[in-house]
Structure 1
Amino acid sequence: MTGSSVGARELRGGQVALCTVTANNYLGRACVMARSLVDIHPDLVPFVGITDKGQRPSQLDREPLSVISLEDIGLALNELTFGLRREQLAVVAKPALIAHLLDVGFETVVYLDPDMLVCSKLDSVIEIVSESAVTLTPHLLDETSLESEIAILLSGVYNAGFVGVSSKGRGFVDWWLDRTLVNPENDVENCVYYDQRWLDLAPSMFEGVMVLRDRGVNVAYWNMAERELDRREGNLVAGTAPVKILHFSGFDLRCPEQASVHFGGVSADSLGPEAKRVFKEYAAMVQEVDRQLGSTDEYGYGVFKSGEPIPDVARLIYRELGEEAARFNNPFDDTHPSSFANWLNAPALIDEARVCPAITNLWERVYRLRPDVQAAYPDLTGNDREGFVAWTRSSGLAEHGVGEAFRI
């Protein structure tokens, strides 16, 4: 099966399914992951949930993967594709795709992030996932520096790039999806990091949660110090363990000398010569597939119908409106007077009573997001109004990715 789209009615269950989710910008990485998997397990063609729109490249039809759309997995399109940023939509689609595959009859589902690489047989891993309800991989298996351990605690004990679920863990998937739908933010100061921090609760809340301590699984920049990469008889090892799955989390293909942009940047040199070589080789592989696919960073859900970019704050406002947002019908359509975009440009209600003609609904929400701006311009309906408006034009537009269509 190569690059085919699998509709909800066509999909039939089986013993084991591997899957990932990706927007178009990571499609090349997903293809590299799929190739690496099928090279080792020809019978395990992965399902790829694409959280984007636009014409799919013809090359995708020749890739060893099966495409599943957002519609197939039952996600409410406008509510999520408009209300969530690209990375948020991906983390919500992850548990939704796992649930969908379980519901059509697969007994075991293994999720891998698109920026992973399968390096050796996964039989032992799949067996553990099949016997457990939920299987998670911790970021760390050994003591490290206090600073590193605190950083890991902030983002989560377990890494959400690998999650295994059997039919016994169906309740966990529903709970996980519900939590990510409620709050898919990157807000570590408030104990939320997309879908990941919720996994900390899984071992105590659900029966049959297995913590996978295989040092060859989910090998990444955060644990390579404790299990340095090397080659033995031509095979990649992490410490003494055969590498099964590498994870290139936060890896910028344009800077292969940097292993990750996370934690302020991690040098590939600092992880050892073999790691440096692996990152360079991975970058070359993905760049070649990106070239074949004609990949770009454009996001199909990133603009209004007119082509105006959708600011992140507009997505936040839409999500916060809840059921009230339904009155806008299609929020992407900014070409009619009653559109959501026009409402964003309408005068805001300040203090639930006073309408401030110079401050729009969009900029009133930006104001509430910024304690520093509130401190600088405390009297938004009085003496500080003009100063705030000047700030939006001099700094606010750029700082919040807001286009000229929303200038005040």
Structure 2
Amino acid sequence: MKNNIIFTICSNNYLAKAKVLANSIKKYEPDSLFVIFLCDVKIDSIDYSSFADEVIPIAEIEPEFMNLAQKYNIVELNTSLKPRACEFLLIERQVDNVIFLDPDIKLYNSLTNIYNKLIESTIILTPHICTPTPMDHRTPGENLFNNFGIYNLGFIGLSNCPTVLDFLLWWKNHTYHQGFIDVWNGIFVDQLPINHAPIFFPNVTIELNMGVNMAPWNLHERYLSINNDSFLVNGTFKLIFYHFSGFETESLELPQLYYNRYKLADRPDLTEIYEKYNEELQAADHSHYRKIKSHYSDIRNDFIKRSKRGKWLKKIKKIFN
């Protein structure tokens, strides 16, 4: 068993994105094992061994899985299980260091600096932004992160120590009980509770390297250039990984729902990485995988129909139809 594991969590519809992530890990982190925790059922026609060193259906390691599947939508379900996946690797597998990456991330350099920091740190987090956003009436503004979380949980690094196990127990308690998308009540999946982590737990490192977790939400402070075939952020930081959040192959455009400050035409520095990522997704057959509906979406829908809420909704429909 390798001492460093990188893992992601996804349903079958995100497997192509996980494949692109896996290929970048093989290139830049060949000594790290890559594991996918599958928040779905395995389909006989899919060769899961081609996507990761190991693919573990997360229902097999979590006794409460079906209760969570009935309670949460598929996004909430995937994110709620992140602490349990970390716990499994650190406790059952006795791994030294664990790094979680969202499936829509791609590495552009090694994670050596992250691993080195885990020698002294218990937890490594990346803030969504490191500098103030412009007051230009565009999104994201700083207030957005008050609702969705100061730190982006598309990445987290953890060392195997008692403090981290305490952290995971605390975090899992939040995600299993309040893992909803409910920002108006101060709840946002696994991410919002982490605002408190640097206060509640010792030796938490907040990674301010601009090459780590570059993404649509921090483009106001980060620009790409090329030096000797490598990408640099702001001419100084090596691009370690980019988070292609919200990207779909059909659009070849920056996501606009929450991040409308730039379109791709405004940022020619990003054209190359987005065009290449688009090509890689197509090569991984994303158009096929993205259409696969999660098995657990149907379980939740069936549960809602059978529940008191489902019966109440039927009565309302009869009244107004």
Q: TM-score, normalised by structure 2?
A: 0.89
Opposite residue 153 of structure 1, the aligned amino acid is N
Question: Is the 1:110–1:129 Cα contact (8 Å) retained in structure 2?
Answer: no
Matches within 5 A, 1:155-304: 155-168=148-161, 169-239=164-234, 240-257=236-253, 259-263=254-258, 265=260, 267-269=262-264, 272-290=267-285, 296-303=291-298
Preserved contact between residue 21 and residue 103 of structure 2 (Cα < 8 Å): yes
8 A contact 1:260–1:267 mirrored in 2: no
Partners of 1:224 and 1:238 in 2: CA distance: 10
The structural deviation recorded for 1:58 is: 4.0
Query: Percent of aligned pairs with the same residue?
Result: 25
Residues 1:111 and 2:107 aligned together:
no
Structure 2: distance between partners of 1:291 and 1:270: 24
Q: Measure the CA separation in 1 of the matches of 2:276 and 2:96.
A: 35
The Cα of 1:112 is off from its aligned counterpart by 0.5
**What's the offset of the Cα at 1:151?**
1.1
* Structure with max Cα Rg: 1
> How far apart, in 1, do the equivalents of 2:133 and 2:272 lie?
24
Unaligned residue ranges in structure 2 (runs of 5+): none
Matched, 1:126 2:119: no
Match of residue 318, structure 2, among 372, 376, 389: 389
Q: Deviations over 1:90-139 (max 9, x none)?
A: 10121111110000211211111111000011101111133211110001
Distance 1:50 1:363 in 2: 32
User: Contact conserved, 2:15 with 2:51, CA < 8 A, in 1?
Assistant: no
Question: Aligned with 2:76: secondary structure?
Answer: helix
Shift of 1:226: 0.5
Q: Is the 8 A contact 2:18 2:103 kept in 1?
A: yes
The CA distance in 2 between the partners of 1:117 and 1:93, in whole Å, is 22
1:344-397 superposed Cα distances (whole Å, 9 cap, x missing partner): 4xxx6xxxxxxxxxxxx5152x59xxxxxxxxxxxxxxxxx8x86353x5xxxx
Whole-Å Cα distance in 2 between the matches of residues 167 and 271 of structure 1? 43
Which whole-Å CA distance do the structure 2 matches of 1:108 and 1:63 have between them?
21
- Looking at structure 1, the residues matched to 11 and 96 of structure 2 have their Cα atoms a distance apart, in angstroms, of 26
SS for the counterpart of 2:115 is helix
Question: What is the Cα-based RMSD across aligned positions, in Å?
Answer: 2.4
* Aligned partners of 2:18 and 2:51 also within 8 Å: no
Q: In 1, distance between residues paired with 2:259 and 2:287?
A: 32
* d(CA) in 2 for partners of 1:260, 1:283: 14
Unaligned runs of 5+ in 1: 1-11, 305-309, 318-340, 349-360, 368-384, 394-408
Amino acid in structure 2 at the alignment position of 1:199: I
Equivalent position amino acid for 1:362 in 2: G
Whether 1:46 and 2:23 are equivalent positions in the alignment is no
Which amino acid is 1:389 matched to? Answer: K
SS of the residue aligned with 2:298? coil
* Cα shift readout 1:315-334 (whole Å, capped 9, x = no counterpart): 5x5xxxxxxxxxxxxxxxxx
AA aligned to 1:40 is Y
Q: Which residue of 1 aligns with 2:85?
A: 97
- How many residue pairs end up in the alignment? 313
CA 133–197 in structure 1, closer or farther in 2 if over 3 Å, else same: same
Letter in 2 for 1:81: A
Alpha-carbon separation, structure 1, partners of 2:206 and 2:193: 15
Contact residue 123 and residue 158 of structure 2 kept, 8 A: yes
* 2:129 counterpart (140, 145, 158): 140
Query: CA shift at 1:254, angstroms?
Result: 1.7
- DSSP-derived class of the 1:263 partner: coil
Distance in 2 (alpha carbons) for counterparts of 1:216 and 1:152: 20
Cα distance, 1:261 vs. partner?
4.5
The question of whether the paired residues in 2 share the 8 Å contact of 1:36 and 1:117 is answered with: yes
Contact 1:57 1:294 (8 Å CA) reproduced: no
Higher relative CO (CA 8 A, sep ≥ 6), structure 1 or 2?
2
Which one-letter code corresponds to 2:12 in the other structure?
A: N
TM-score where L is the length of structure 1: 0.71
Contact 1:115 1:248 in 2 (8 A): yes
